[in-house]
Chains A and B, each alone.
Chain A
């Protein structure tokens, strides 16, 4: 029972990271019908910049984290102006945008992995392909043992921050004028434009918000899992992020949140039920079944409401 509770907590925790990461995917997919595959690189940059400011430049984590989120948000502008808007102007198919965002991701990962002491980017990163962690005591990270179950402050904080952020995002999308514009563009960009919505501005804001979320998720990942490297986005969360938005129904915010937690919990339950060899396999089997039997996602009706 202790093991079950611990594993359930493990699943809920990693589900929070999956959901937070995948929210950025789903926001952009909702308004653009494009998978922004540079998202995983922005996730990594968020963690790398925060680490750099703390470990290399001596900043307090509480200043470094917002600065890193701002840098990640600014990368959203780069994605929009470099990789997406030029293609939209000439009505390029969504596949072209996937390719340009993949290229951007590869460039960002390569820049970080090539950064070495004495190099041009040494102010940002000096560890090449190595994995590093925040210096000890960067954030209070006490460990609690309650009834045989281990809880760490960082993981609890991530859970709380994720829930607050997801609730705030849900409120923003449903209840504010900016959210209404977002939903209008997601539903039909041409109709939204005719109604006076500045579509390009909505898309730009969405990319900035989505990238800032990715940056935040990257920082939380780095704090909780003691793993910051050029590959944390690409190798560890990208595929699962895609799985989450399929589970949740492509483009649905609520569905993505539920999908994140479902995937996290299904993975650890698979581990308990079938052993360690098949954990990832069972999770992706669930994804496959979802695509075949319920392609609209967990929460979807006949058609998922976008964003």
Chain B
């Protein structure tokens, strides 16, 4: 059963781009962290891109043009991310790109795509200055992943309005851009929600045992522990904090929003709350069909990262069909694709999706909580703006 959203995109393509697409191949690229610590997220992204490619091509592609994705592994390494991005653009001659997985890698990869005037859509990077106010022009960079600057304040406000916590402690690794950016967002938002931040406890990603830091946090007796981190760290902190007698609330960001983290945290994570770009329980058409197709192909549940990557493919395909690509003038095609992406307006698994003028996400924010069994429940949703 092919998704209606995809079918609609393909149908629109037939009407808009004429017959020049027939028999051609739209070559895209993706830079994901398939190995290294970011592999927790990259593996899901790769599966989602493969699924979207299969679904779209099975329906006839884009006005007769097949889509193809060359997916490269950046090994969660900033330099490798830059290298594979350059190779995809210059050697594989892709018209547009997805990725990279990590914000830390994006600071190296995105400037290269921008310099080579190739649209690159970030599908999971949520740190600062990815789009909009970048330290370079970033006119070819887009993002469909809800930034921490939107998700964390929405989550704090939702919880503060309900539970009125007075004190908090923040725990985060200081050698990771995503985590440090998230920590800054927390610091910027606690006071306006009448929460006193008792301590900001920093450590490095490679710490074997986080107990000493958790001890320091728990002994301040906070109402809330904020964790802005990726991978195994949030679940390790939750488990240790509960062991040490912490009974308060965990609040976090995108690092919470994968089933692997919820499963690893188990009982200790029950109720841990975060702002998310996606909620699996949403039953609107685009999401229901995405989940059904994903489960049918992989016999597993998708997560937020898969949903964002899948949406990334839908955005590129929708834009490509409106861009009137020539398949001859590569620089012109990349520019036309970029221009078309700016006018994106689709129904996606994330909800109704558009870009802001700064190429950032304009979509609903879903406030979710871990259910203690590896899943999530919906707390509330907030509309953009």
The chain A residues found within 8 Å of chain B, CB to CB, are 2-3, 6-7, 10-11, 13-14, 17, 110, 113-114, 116-117, 127-133, 136, 143, 145, 150, 152, 221, 225-227, 229, 231-232, 235-237, 239-240, 267-268, 271, 276-277, 279-280
Contact = CB atoms under 8 A, between A and B. Distances in A.
Contacts of B201: 276
B59 interface: no
Given A14-B209, A225-B208, A235-B206, A129 B215 contact: no
A17 B212 CA distance: 15
B264 A132 contact: yes
A10 B39 contact: no
Given A143-B243, A226-B239, A279 B212 contact: yes
Describe A's contact surface by its main secondary structure.
Answer: helix
Given A127-B260, A226-B236, A236-B208, 4 more contacts: A10-B211, A14-B208, A128-B40, A129-B43
B231 interface: yes
B204 interface: yes
Contacts of A227: 232, 236
Interface size band for B: 35 or more
Contacts of A277: 174, 202
Contacts of A152: 243
Interface of B: 35-40, 42-43, 174, 201-209, 211-213, 215-216, 219, 231-232, 235-236, 239-240, 243-245, 260, 263-264, 266-267, 299-300
A275 to B, nearest CB: 8
B187 to A, nearest CB: 15
A225 B240 CA distance: 8
A133 B264 contact: yes
Contact of A10 (B42, B202, B212, B300): B212
Contacts of B216: 3, 7, 271, 276
B231 A131 contact: yes
A110 to B, nearest CB: 7
B32 to A, nearest CB: 11
A227 B206 CA distance: 12
A136 B35 CA distance: 28
A14 B243 contact: no
A127 B263 CA distance: 12
A246 to B, nearest CB: 18
B174 A110 contact: no
B35 A17 contact: no
A7 B35 contact: no
16 contacts: A2-B219, A3-B215, A7-B215, A13-B209, A113-B35, A117-B299, A129-B39, A129-B43, A131-B235, A225-B208, A225-B236, A235-B37, A236-B207, A276-B201, A277-B174, A277-B202
Given A143-B243, A150-B244, A128 B43 contact: yes
A70 B215 CA distance: 35
A277 B240 CA distance: 20
